[in-house]
Amino acid sequence: GAGVSQSPRYKVAKRGQDVALRCDPISGHVSLFWYQQALGQGPEFLTYFQNEAQLDKSGLPSDRFFAERPEGSVSTLKIQRTQQEDSAVYLCASSRPGLRTEAFFGQGTRLTVV
């Protein structure tokens, strides 16, 4: 596609509910990143894939957060037993390999836990 596509754009979840957020990267981009952006803050790194391999998950805040990219293209970020502090915008970005490439961000999914 023309850009990074994320769905849903908005998600309201009841506390304790599981959610799954989808990211469709730009075609041909092997690197895929997830970030969490709380209201009024800068994005914070969650996890990073190169193809299907999850190379860094150091930013995942707890074991309730899980990300996968089984075929090296679409990625899903899953949050189990959501809590109010999980409310944020979840941004996905993708990039080509190489030193001079930049990451392109999707529109994000705004998650509100009530």
Residues that bind other proteins (CB under 8 A): 31, 33, 35, 41-45, 48, 55-56, 58-59, 91, 93, 99-100, 102-108
Round to the nearest angstrom and report the end-to-end CA distance of the chain: 33
* Rounded CA separation 71/59 (Å): 22
Minimum distance, C-beta of residue 105 to other proteins, in the bound complex (Å): 4
Nearest CB to other proteins, comparing residues 14 and 100: 100
Nearest CB to other proteins, comparing residues 19 and 89: 89
* Rounded CA separation 72/53 (Å): 8
The number of residues making up the chain comes to 114
Minimum distance, C-beta of residue 3 to other proteins, in the bound complex (Å): 9
